[in-house]
Amino acid sequence: MSSHTPALQGNLMVHDSTYEPGIQIYNMKLGMWLFLLSEVMFFTSLLGTYVILRFAHPDHFADPGAVLNVPLTAFNTFFLICSSVTMVKAFAAIQKGDQKGLKLWLLATILIGACFVGIQAIEYGALVHEGFVPMAAKYHALGRTGVEGGPIVGGPLYGSTFYIMTGFHGLHVSIGVICLTFVLIRAMQGHYTLSDHRGVELIGLYWHFVDLVWIILFTIVYLI
Amino acid sequence: MQNWSWLLDESASTVGPHIDRLYYVILVVTGIVFFATEITLLWFIFRYRHREGRKAAYIQGSTKAEIVWTTIPAIIVLSIALASRGLWAEIKDPALVPANAMTVMLTAKQFEWNLTYPGPDDELGTGDDFTVRNRLDVPIDRPTRLEMYSEDVIHSFYIPDFRLKQDVVPGMELMMWFQPTRTGEFPIGCAELCGIGHTRMRGTLTVHTASEYQTWMNEHIQAQP
Amino acid sequence: MATTVATAGDHVAGAEHHELGFIRTYIFSTDHKMIAKQFLVASLVFLLLGGLLAGVVRWQLGFPGQPIPLIGSLFSDTTAPGGIILPEFYNSLVTMHATFMIFFAIMPLMLGVWGNYLIPLQIGAPDMAFPRLNTFSFWISIPAGLIMLAGFFVEGGHAGAGWTSYAPLSADPAFSGVYMGQILWLVSLTIVGFSSLSGAVNYITTVINMRAPGMTWFRIPLPTWALFVTSWLVLLAIPILTGGLIMLLLDQTIGTGFFAPATDGEPLLWQHIFWYFGHPEVYILILPGMGLASEVLANRSRKPVFGYHSMVVAIISIAFLGWVVWGHHMFQSGMNPLLGTSFMISTIIIAVPSAIKVFNWLGTLWRGNIHLDVPMLHALAFVSMFIIGGLSGIFMASAPVDIPIHDTYFIVAHIHYVLFGGSLFSIFAGITYWFPKMFGRMFGSKLGKVHFWITFVSYNLVFFPMHTMGLKGHIRRIYDPNQYTFLESMQPLNTLITVAAFVLISAQFIFAFNFFWSMFRGNKAVSNPWNSNTLEWALAPTPPPHGNFVGTPRVYRGPYEYSSPESIDDFLPQHLPPDRVQRPPVPRDPGFLPTGD
């Protein structure tokens, strides 16, 4: 919006944040909250499916530890939470006008986020190797301690639901990392100032959301 | 002009008249509302049409009117819902199926209905069962309960004259029960889009007298290998 | 998309001169008004397509097994060899008619056109909160539409499992014979979902944050209110559909097992997900139309909307209640019967706010000064047809009565009374009413009335008989009703409906012709031909320039001050400061009050 306004009639509002009536949340932030609300509904449809299928067919599912690498993913969760902390620090930095801090903490967030995706990719590889796949017909999960030719742990619904939930979450993290990179580049171009750093706040909101979704996912899928 | 009529032909099951009665209650209520509102609409268009010098009245609304036309419709529609509850349970609740109902297994598949009868031992799943395609034969003197399965996609077993219908879902065991009130042949149709042959998934429900049914049953038992 | 009345060159006095090339003005515009017009043209094309698809469906039902006349040879051997429609093609036609109408005609008309055009103008804003997101919203819908069209040309034909796409029929080509078509259907809808979603984010933000000073919540005109509430439904319901579509897509492509009974998947889960979206969706399709109709009814009656506050509350109630009724689409599905009872009660309750609205519309007409212009004819038709559609819903809301009529033509009748009788007539009302504002010319009135009457009569001939056909057991989505002996007697009726349908579809060409003819040759419009109070008419020029208003509008009153005693005119614009209102002359006899009757 702000890049658009100079072309408009000069005596009209310049910055949406000074518009009244309205709530004291500038347009982009309100827009981001609304978008995140829609994302809640999207993940609800996926998680809701998991919950329903799990109650309907408990035999398809197993003790999380039997198939999934809970310790590794627990560490990954902690890691992601750390990236939320670094994000907060990045935002706090630019709120004080600390450009260097902003860039450093953004970089930290990006690296942790990328590692999170990497670790998850590694976990996926191991799971697939053990036969834990999303294709119903090809599901033959042997579990972490299972042996070749051994009994199958769980059933196809486990694979289908696991990959769709964690996969879409991973996709959202990856998109977040890409957007964070854009924000970092703009930060390096000096785009953000003490008085206007909305882009940082917006990506921060998205990043915290992605983290929150993961905490819920991790609890439901890996702990229960 | 039968097909333009909102009046229903006589049904052929015990629940049919109850459903029809509920239908007529709703028809009368909605019919009264329909005529009242549409006539009012037409009257207003005519009465308050623009003419030279005409002015509209400056009226913002009326709280009293809002209360009246909120509560009265609410009471009417809730009554309809409450009146429907008992009948719904009677038809659909598995616990309310009459104890003396005989069971026939229905297996739906693209694009036919297969009815499996328990045979002389009165038990499904035994060697003396026999299966008939696209026809359901029942006696008039006792209720029939259908144990319903689908081999492939969702179908819907529909007997228009009985006012009954039940979707048949693969992976689920569903049920429907009925008691006929007259003998005769009644059409069966599939009421859920199930593929290319959905249109021809028809069958016939034949209601026999008790003795005719016995005859029919014996014929089929003897025909078994 | 040329508009003869100069818009690109027309600038608000005192504004910076800002030359945008042809592409930025007409192709990738960020101006909400241009984007609205783009949506308008695109959706009218899809509306026509949807209608033609229905025409082919009706041909098969009216003249079963007969070759399609005139254009029969244009069809391929896999769809209609020798012009005779195949059952699999029939299933695709039925599926695609609904899909195009719902997702590519009505939704973009309601939201893409009216949401875009009206919201900033009615609240006094220069444009949307996110103009570039708006451009994206339109342009992403085009590839989605093209992908949906492509499905007709792939091997196996287009998706044929109904617009409701029930699994497992839709999930496994072994059952449907369709593979690529179903995938394209799923991909297309996923993409168009992003179009709707971006629109919703834009509209909600704009209404919340960008109202002009003085434009309090209860001074917002009803079209914008309805569009605002509808946008919340879009925001929250579309992502649910997206989740379901992706699951179905994965079932079809890589073979996940969400809905596949063979590996314990749950077909009913698809239905729950789909209808959890699907029911809010039907309110998405009608609520904006209710707003449009309210506006036209009040203005053409020269009277305030009766019960404006109640109307707002009713819109919000419908939106809320719409989330807890989805199971009424699943009464016969094998769902737990106990759930049936609770859904029956919530469903019957939702009839109440709709009834309230109908009574308030009647109240608006009562003691009014009714001008029967083309928009008003459509708005009145909307009310009378919506009454029928709403009342027919009560039959289905009673779960036991739903047993015989579910999946019959009774349902088809209900659907079309609310979607055509309701949504489409309100859209016609909107197009003919706001046409002068959009294009600077009046919409041809004579042809407009011809179109209206032919449409109204033929439409009722098509859909009213379907109620009784359904009551007598005419199942829906069947290629050949004559397979059933008991339906053979309905063949003449089916043929009559088909003939009426052809008249109905043909009449729409009158509308299309009038639309384009009026755009270039219609009488030039004055700025506020309807003497409306709302900002888009009373304040913004016709057509509005980039930025809409000169200076910041300031609002002093509600939008429905028609025939107010405070003004000598029978309208009192929202933006007029009290000291500039021309009062009626003081009567000599203080006891005498001019009445409207």
| Both tokens assigned to C266 | 């749950």
Share of chain B above pLDDT 90, in %: 91
Determine the Cα angle at C375 with ends C426 and C281, to 5°: 10
Amino acid letter, C255: G
pLDDT at C6 (0 to 100): 35
Is C468 in the B-facing interface, judged by CB distances under 8 Å? yes
Distance CA C344, CA C469 (A): 24
C543 upstream amide cis, omega within 30 of 0? yes
What is the rounded average pLDDT of the residues C83-91? 96
Look at the alpha carbons of A73, A74, A75, A77 in this order and tell me if their dihedral is positive or negative: positive
Which candidate from B57, B80, B87 shows the least CB-CB separation from C595? B57
What is the secondary structure of C338-394 as a DSSP string? HHHHHHHHHHHHTHHHHHHHHHHHHHHHTT--B---HHHHHHHHHHHHHHHHHHHHH
Which candidate from B3, B56, B197 shows the least CB-CB separation from C468? B3
For residue A160, the chain C residue with the least C-alpha distance is C256
Look at the alpha carbons of C331, C332, C333, C335 in this order and tell me if their dihedral is positive or negative: positive
- DSSP H or E segment with residue B203: strand B203-208
Contact residues, chain C, for B85 at CB < 8 Å: 341, 344
B51 three-state secondary structure: coil
CB C361 within 8 A of CB C295: no
Is C339 in the B-facing interface, judged by CB distances under 8 Å? no
Q: pLDDT of C142-188, one tens digit each?
A: 999 999 999 999 999 999 999 999 999 999 999 999 999 999 999 99
Q: pLDDT of C110-125, one tens digit each?
A: 999 999 999 999 999 9
For residue C249, the chain A residue with the least C-alpha distance is A164
Give me the domains of chain A, ranges plus CATH numbers.
Answer: 25-223 (1.20.120.80)
CB B193 within 8 A of CB C166: yes
Contact residues, chain B, for C384 at CB < 8 Å: 38, 41
Contact residues, chain A, for C258 at CB < 8 Å: 49, 53, 157, 160-161
Q: Which of residues 113-142 of A touch C (CB under 8 A)?
A: 134-139
pLDDT at A175 (0 to 100): 98
User: Which distant-in-sequence residues (6+ apart) come within 8 Å of C510 by Cβ?
Assistant: C447, C450, C451, C454
| Both tokens assigned to A183 | 């924000």
pLDDT reading at C457 higher than 60: yes
Q: pLDDT of C295-348, one tens digit each?
A: 999 999 999 999 999 999 999 999 999 999 999 999 999 988 889 999 999 999
Binary contact (A45, C242; C-beta < 8 A): yes
pLDDT band of C592, cuts 50, 70, 90: low
Phi/psi of residue C179, nearest 5 degrees: -120, -70
CB C400 within 8 A of CB B76: no
Going by C-alpha positions, the residue among C477, C412, C335 that lies closest to residue B201 is: C477
Binary contact (C265, A136; C-beta < 8 A): yes
Q: How many helices and strands in chain A, by DSSP H and E?
A: 6, 0
Question: Long-range contacts made by residues C557-561, C-beta under 8 angstroms, separation at least 24?
Answer: C557/C219, C558/C218, C558/C219, C558/C304, C558/C308, C559/C122, C559/C219, C559/C220, C559/C221, C559/C222, C559/C533, C559/C534, C560/B60, C560/C221, C560/C298, C560/C303, C560/C304, C560/C305, C560/C308, C560/C533, C561/C304, C561/C533
Is A21 in the C-facing interface, judged by CB distances under 8 Å? yes
Residue reference for tokens 């009145």: C380
pLDDT band of B109, cuts 50, 70, 90: very high
CB B5 within 8 A of CB C468: yes
Going by C-alpha positions, the residue among C376, C373, C372, C384 that lies closest to residue C460 is: C384
| Both tokens assigned to C96 | 């695609």
Going by C-alpha positions, the residue among B160, B216, B211, B206 that lies closest to residue B183 is: B206
pLDDT at C595 (0 to 100): 60
Look at the alpha carbons of C268, C274, C276, C280 in this order and tell me if their dihedral is positive or negative: negative
Pairing status of strand B203-208 against strand B135-139? parallel
CB A130 within 8 A of CB A144: yes
Phi/psi of residue B101, nearest 5 degrees: -70, 140
Binary contact (C235, A34; C-beta < 8 A): yes
| Both tokens assigned to C201 | 């984010």
| Both tokens assigned to A177 | 């990392």
Distances, alpha carbon C344 to alpha carbons A69, A77, B11, C151, C286, in Å: 46, 44, 24, 37, 21
DSSP C76: -
pLDDT band of C586, cuts 50, 70, 90: confident
Q: pLDDT of C395-443, one tens digit each?
A: 999 999 999 999 999 999 999 999 999 999 999 999 999 999 999 999 9
pLDDT at C591 (0 to 100): 63
**Sheet harboring B184-190: ordered strands across?**
B135-139, B203-208, B184-190, B155-159, B164-168
pLDDT at A12 (0 to 100): 34
For residue A163, the chain C residue with the least C-alpha distance is C256
Which candidate from A20, A42, A46 shows the least CB-CB separation from C213? A20
CB C501 within 8 A of CB C458: yes
Going by C-alpha positions, the residue among C368, C211, C411, C196 that lies closest to residue C285 is: C196
Is A45 in the C-facing interface, judged by CB distances under 8 Å? yes
Binary contact (A53, C269; C-beta < 8 A): yes
pLDDT at C585 (0 to 100): 85
pLDDT at C596 (0 to 100): 52
- The packing angle between helices A99-129 and A198-217, to 10°, is 30
CB A107 within 8 A of CB A192: no
Question: Can chain B be said to touch chain C, i.e. do they have 3 or more Cβ pairs within 8 angstroms?
Answer: yes
User: How many C-beta atoms lie closer than 10 Å to residue C506's C-beta?
Assistant: 13
pLDDT at A19 (0 to 100): 40
Binary contact (C348, B77; C-beta < 8 A): yes
Is A4 in the C-facing interface, judged by CB distances under 8 Å? yes
Contact residues, chain B, for C565 at CB < 8 Å: 58
pLDDT at C590 (0 to 100): 63
Shortest distance, CA A135 to any CA of chain C (angstroms): 5
For residue B30, the chain C residue with the least C-alpha distance is C391
Distance of CA B58 to the CA centre of its chain: 50
Binary contact (A42, C239; C-beta < 8 A): yes
Going by C-alpha positions, the residue among A15, A85, A110, A77 that lies closest to residue A213 is: A77
User: Which distant-in-sequence residues (6+ apart) come within 8 Å of C320 by Cβ?
Assistant: none
Pairing status of strand B164-168 against strand B155-159? antiparallel
Distance CA C334, CA A94 (A): 57
Contact residues, chain B, for C497 at CB < 8 Å: none
Distance CA C465, CA C480 (A): 18
Per-residue 3-state assignment (H helix, E strand, C coil) for B147-195: EEEECCCCEEEEEHHHCEEEEECCCCCEEEEECECCCEEEEEEECCCCC
Distance CA C169, CA B193 (A): 9
Distance of CA A143 to the CA centre of its chain: 27
Suggest the residue from A2, A3, A4, A12 to mutate for an interface test with chain C (most C CBs closer than 10 A).
A12
Cα torsion through C405, C408, C413, C416, rounded to 10: 120
- Mean pLDDT of the residues in chain C: 94
Phi/psi of residue B73, nearest 5 degrees: -60, -40
Listed as ranges, residues in chain A with pLDDT below 70 are: 1-20
pLDDT at A16 (0 to 100): 31
pTM above 0.90, yes or no: yes
Q: pLDDT of C38-74, one tens digit each?
A: 999 999 999 999 999 999 999 999 999 999 999 999 9
Contact residues, chain B, for C421 at CB < 8 Å: none
Distances, alpha carbon C331 to alpha carbons B166, C296, C339, C404, in Å: 9, 37, 8, 11
C566 three-state secondary structure: coil
Binary contact (C208, A46; C-beta < 8 A): no
Lowest mean pLDDT among B119-133, C109-123, C318-332, C363-377: B119-133
DSSP A161: H
Which candidate from B19, B50, B191 shows the least CB-CB separation from C371? B50
Is B6 in the C-facing interface, judged by CB distances under 8 Å? yes
Binary contact (B37, C388; C-beta < 8 A): no
Look at the alpha carbons of C43, C45, C51, C56 in this order and tell me if their dihedral is positive or negative: negative
pLDDT at C575 (0 to 100): 94
